[in-house]
Amino acid sequence: MVGGSVPVFDEIILSTTLMNRVISFNSVSGTLVCQAGCVLEELSRYVEERGFVMPLDLGAKGSCHIGGNVATNAGGLRFLRYGSLHGTVLGLEVVLADGTVLDCLTSLRKDNTGYDLKQLFIGSEGTLGVITAVSIQCPPKPRAVNVAFLGCPGFAEVLQTFSSGKELLGEILSAYEFMDAECMWLVTHHLRLASPVQESPFYVLVETSGSRAGHDSEKLSDFLEQALSSGLVTDGTVATDQTRLKALWALRERISEALSRDGYVYKYDLSLPTERLYDLVSDLRARLGSQAKHVVGYGHLGDGNLHLNVTSEAFSPSLLADLEPYVYEWTARQRGSVSAEHGLGFKKRGVLSYSKPPEALRLMQQLKALLDPKGILNPYKTLPAQA
C-alpha cells in the first residue's frame, strides 16, 4: 500500500521468517511472548486453542508476521474493541543499528520507570531498530460472536446506526465497518460474491463479541428492531455460525482485492472526523467525473478510518493531479491523518507534513539521527527525503 517493506534502491533484505518460535504463554494473564517471524494466523490459532484471541486481526493474517505488524502499528478489524498495538504490546526486544540488543521484553501491565522506549519502535516501520521479539496481551476468547450485515439509506443513517449500536450493544460491540454501494458492486462483479441484503446506498457490518450467547442475541435483537423500525436500516441479516460469519466478513475484507481487479488503483487511508468522513468521497466523485471508473469509500467507521480508493482503466497523470494534493489538503483542513493505519513507507513519506507540524518532523529526524546515524535501517522510508 505504501511500499514500506519494498526495497527500492540498494537495500539489503532481512527476513525474520525463521524466527517463528513462541517463547512463552501465560494462561492466567494471557500474555504471549514470541519471536518476530511468527505468522499472525498461526499465533491466533495457538492462543485460541488456549481460550484467548490475538488483539489484532487483518485480511493479511495468513502471511503477515507479528514483528511487521508491530513495526507498522497495524490497525485492522479488532481495533475498535482492543485498541492500538501501542496499548496491547507489553514489551519488545529490538536490535539497534549498532548491534545492541535492547531487551525490553517485559510482560508487565504497569511500568512507569521513565520513558516507554518500546513505543518508539511501534509504528517506526523498521527505521529505528529491528524488532526481534514481542510480548503482547491477549484478551479472552469471546464465547459468542454475531455478525449483522445491514443496508442503510444514507451516510447520516450509517452514523446514527453507529451511535445507536454503541448505546444499545455497549461492551459487546466489537466491530463497526462500512462500505458504499460501489464497493458492493466491485465485490459482487469481480469476485462473484453474493450480496445478502437488498441493494442500498450503504452497508454496515456490525460484530458483537461477548461471553453469553443468550444475552448477546437479546441485545442485538433490540438494536436491530430499533434500527429497522426507525428507518435507520432498511434490510439486514444476522449470522452466528462460523461459515456464514466468514461469508459476511468476506464482503468487507475482500474489497481491496476486488479493487485491484478493476484497473489502476489510487489508494488513500485517512483518519477524519467521523461525521465528515464520506463528504470527501462525494466531493471527489463530482470533481473527477468520468475520469474515474470508481470512487469508493469504505473502512473502519468505528475508528474514524476511511479507505478512499479511486480506480481508472490505466494510470493517468491528470487524474493523479486532480487527486493530489487535493485529498491531502482536504484532510489537513479537518486536522485528519494522511495515514490512519498503513504508515508512510516510501510512497507517502512526502506527505507527512500534512499531518505533523515542522517541530514534530524535526524531532522525528533527530531521533532517526540518534538511533540510526548511518541511515542503514529501512532507508528511504517514513521520513521525507532530505533536501
Ligand X SMILES: O=C(O)CC[C@@H](O)C(=O)O
Q: Min. distance of Cβ 172 from ligand X in angstroms?
A: 22
Of the candidate residues 256, 271, 312, 378, the single one contacting ligand X (CB under 6 A): 256
Q: At what angle do helices 326-333 and 279-288 cross, to 10 degrees?
A: 150
Backbone dihedral angles phi then psi of residue 145, each to the nearest 5 degrees? -125, 130
Q: Min. distance of Cβ 336 from ligand X in angstroms?
A: 16
Q: Min. distance of Cβ 341 from ligand X in angstroms?
A: 6
Dihedral-angle region of residue 107 (phi above 0 means left; psi in -120 to 50 means alpha; beta otherwise): alpha
Binding mask 7-36 for ligand X (x = CB under 6 A): ------------------------------
Provide the Cα torsion 77, 169, 54, 337; round to 10°: 40
Question: Any contact of residue 88 with ligand X (CB under 6 A)?
Answer: no
Q: Min. distance of Cβ 369 from ligand X in angstroms?
A: 31
Q: Closer to ligand X at the Cβ: 75 or 129?
A: 75
Q: Min. distance of Cβ 61 from ligand X in angstroms?
A: 12
Question: d(Cα 264, Cα 150) in Å, to the nearest integer?
Answer: 30
Q: Closer to ligand X at the Cβ: 235 or 285?
A: 285
Question: Any contact of residue 59 with ligand X (CB under 6 A)?
Answer: yes
3-state SS track over 299-362: EEHHHCEEEEEEEECCCCHHHHHHHCCHHHHHHHHCCCECECCCCCCCCCHHHHHHCCCHHHHH
Residues numbered 123-182 forming contacts with ligand X, rule: CB under 6 A: none
Q: Closer to ligand X at the Cβ: 38 or 205?
A: 205
Q: Closer to ligand X at the Cβ: 267 or 293?
A: 267
Residues numbered 269-328 forming contacts with ligand X, rule: CB under 6 A: 269, 307, 309
Q: Which three cell numbers stand for residue 221?
A: 435483537
Q: Closer to ligand X at the Cβ: 269 or 322?
A: 269
Q: Min. distance of Cβ 252 from ligand X in angstroms?
A: 7
Q: Min. distance of Cβ 235 from ligand X in angstroms?
A: 23
Residues numbered 187-226 forming contacts with ligand X, rule: CB under 6 A: none
3-state SS, residue 90: strand
3-state SS, residue 178: strand
Residues in contact with ligand X, counted by CB under 6 A, come to a total of 7
Question: d(Cα 387, Cα 385) in Å, to the nearest integer?
Answer: 6
By CB atoms closer than 10 A (0-12, 13-18, 19+), residue 9 is exposed
The one-letter amino acid code at 43 reads: L
**332: β partners:** none
Question: d(Cα 148, Cα 321) in Å, to the nearest integer?
Answer: 39
Of the candidate residues 244, 267, 285, 356, the single one contacting ligand X (CB under 6 A): 267
Residues numbered 226-255 forming contacts with ligand X, rule: CB under 6 A: 255
Q: Closer to ligand X at the Cβ: 224 or 288?
A: 288
Residue 325: cis peptide before it, omega within 30 degrees of 0: yes
Residue at shortest CB range from ligand X: 256
Q: Closer to ligand X at the Cβ: 223 or 268?
A: 268
Q: Min. distance of Cβ 38 from ligand X in angstroms?
A: 21
Strands (E), the chain: 22-26, 31-35, 89-95, 101-104, 130-137, 144-152, 173-180, 202-210, 235-239, 264-271, 294-300, 305-312
Q: Min. distance of Cβ 180 from ligand X in angstroms?
A: 13
Q: Closer to ligand X at the Cβ: 267 or 276?
A: 267
**135: β partners:** 33, 91
Q: Closer to ligand X at the Cβ: 55 or 379?
A: 55
Residues lying near ligand X in the complex (CB under 6 A): 59, 255-256, 267, 269, 307, 309
